[in-house]
Amino acid sequence: MTLKASVPTSLPPADKDSVLAVLERTCKTFPDRSAFTNQGVSLTYAELDRLSSDLAAYFQHRTPLQPGDRIALMLPNLLQFPIALFAALKAGLIVVPTNPFYSERELRHQLSDSGARAIVYLDMLGDRVEAVIGETQLEILIESSVGDMHTTGRRVLMNAVAKYLKKKIPTFELPQAIPFLDAVEQGYECVIDRLDPEPDDVALLQYTMGTTGVAKGAMLSHANLVANMRQVRTVLDERDEQGLPLFEEGRQLVIAPLPLYHIYAFTAHCLCMMAVGNHSVLITDPRDTDQLIKVLNRYRFNGIVGLNTLFQNLLEHPGFNKVDFRDLRLTLSGGAALTRTVAERWARVTGCEVLEAYGLTEASPAVAMNPLGRIKRGTVGRAVPDTEVRIQDEEGDALAPGEVGELCVRGPQVFQGYWHAPQATADSFTPDGWLKTGDLAWRDEDGYIKIVDRKQDLILVSGFNVYPNEIENVLLNHPGVAACAAVGVPDSHSGEIVKAFVVRRDPDATEAELDAWCRSNLAGYKVPKIIEFCDALPLTPVGKILRRELRGQ
């Protein structure tokens, strides 16, 4: 395929847009186009605009909430998420996406640290809200149910099944909570006060471990988020020799199995796909691979956004080979390293090369992407437009192509800092203003970036750098290995040694067999000295391996 000019390194100046201005344009351009679908129910852009305006009017006129107040969204992938998101922004509130899997301790910290005055939560999580509410500033509680966006009869049935048959709704008492649909209905009776946010107004407090300390709220402004929309859109706007787009705007249906409360899926679906009028099919529970396969068979999908563990689970499912991939144009991978084995198998089965990208919460998140028509497997692509990257050594000096160092970033998508944490903010930047990502990387002569590993995950064996990703890639190429993770453990002789945790595909695979495999593919100091078999690896809800939990085992 012959392609036209490559992705530009910079973009022409744009209007000082807010996320709301982008949403408004999309809703006017594609009013009848489906915006989001979940569990068989779709919202058009016109319906999304109307329902979010009604809920925003409720916030403005039926509650004491004021612009700048924080509101937590503790929801899985349901239609209520984008409605509540855009309603909050229309009311001038700062959105705090909250992980539904948080423990009481984690939830208490996030709500207290952000000072959230309101929360929209799923009734299945009500007991956790009840447990922490007394230690937070929460005043406004909006309670949603899985059946909220369905017809009356189906809504009653779905909610009854969840409560009485599946017993997914715990016992709790939050009498001050108002049902989600009641809030929307009350807002319908009011007139929304239209707001025009300033570009530097904070839109999102996205909590992250960052590169230092405990979870902190990364302040992402309207300008940060809109800049990242434009950057991603430009990278995906590759065209063939006839000038036809490889990924068309306003016509694509994209599967959304990753949680919207995570910055990767949030930006991909609630911002980037929304900005161009594309249609996102929300998957509430991506761990239910059987159900996900049914969704893939139901829709003629053009794209899917995921990460390595999700793609691997799909490839292992016996029904995946029967899915129709004729319309698949985009497979986007981010959030965690994509292994060579998974990339190769995915391309072979689907006929679509995986486009690997790289980002971090503090950069809204996209920093680098493979151009859609110029994917270089094994890399995360080149810096997105208007973005500078620098690979530096421990002294802060820039390194030449091919040399490994810490990846640092500058660009309009880089966050304003951490919420009420000036020292952590200062520690995240170099003295000359580059964001330190904490990731080790190198860059080739064409500007393509290879992420080697997290700086904090680097293993030092007798003074030699050992990168867990390299070891894991080797192990995953063994036919008896389904999943694995490599960590460093203390050793009195060499400082650290490599320990590998392995989930077997072949139950007869032995430690000696894997040791021999590693010795034939790795230098001796990189070979795991300990191999421990396990049934599963600890994962984040997004699917990243939690190496820090394995280090103590």
Domain containing 467 — which CATH number? 3.30.300.30
Are 447 and 463 found together in one domain? Answer: no
- Are 233 and 26 within 8 A, CB to CB? no
pLDDT tens digits along 471-504: 999 999 999 999 999 999 988 777 889 999 999 9
Q: Which residue has the higher pLDDT, 58 or 4?
A: 58
Q: What does each C-alpha distance from 360 to 228, 285, 290, 307, 413 come to in angstroms?
A: 12, 23, 30, 14, 10
CA angle 504/510/512 to nearest 5° reads 135
In this model, does residue 12 exceed pLDDT 90?
no
Average of per-residue pLDDT across 223-243: 91
Are 359 and 462 found together in one domain? Answer: no
pLDDT at 1: 43
pTM: 0.88
Are 129 and 145 found together in one domain? Answer: yes
pLDDT tens digits along 97-124: 998 988 888 899 999 999 999 999 999 9
pLDDT at 211: 46
pLDDT tens digits along 429-465: 999 999 999 999 999 999 999 999 888 888 988 777 7
Are 360 and 249 found together in one domain? Answer: yes
Are 485 and 536 found together in one domain? Answer: yes
Whole-number Å distance between alpha carbons of 537 and 306: 18
Range of the domain at 187: 39-197
Are 213 and 228 found together in one domain? Answer: yes
pLDDT tens digits along 400-426: 999 999 999 999 999 999 999 999 999
Helix (H, G, I), strand (E, B) or coil at 272: helix
Number of compact structural domains in the chain: 3
Domain membership flag for residue 446: yes
Sheet with 495-504, strands from edge to edge, namely 481-491, 495-504, 530-533
In this model, does residue 293 exceed pLDDT 90?
yes
Are 484 and 445 found together in one domain? Answer: no
Q: How many residues does the chain have?
A: 553
Where do the DSSP E strands lie in 16-61?
34-38, 41-44
Are 394 and 473 found together in one domain? Answer: no
pLDDT at 379: 96
- The CATH number of the domain where 137 resides is what? 3.40.50.980
Q: End of a domain among 178, 197, 216?
A: 197
Read off the pLDDT band of 210 (50, 70, 90).
Answer: low
Are 384 and 273 found together in one domain? Answer: yes
Name residue 306's beta-bridge partners: 333
pLDDT at 419: 97
Helix (H, G, I), strand (E, B) or coil at 125: helix
Name residue 442's beta-bridge partners: 450
Name residue 418's beta-bridge partners: 218
CA neighbours closer than 13 Å in the CB half-sphere of residue 268:
31
Are 366 and 405 found together in one domain? Answer: yes
pLDDT tens digits along 32-55: 999 999 999 999 999 999 999 999
Are 352 and 484 found together in one domain? Answer: no
Identify the DSSP state of 320.
G
% of the chain exceeding 70 in pLDDT: 98
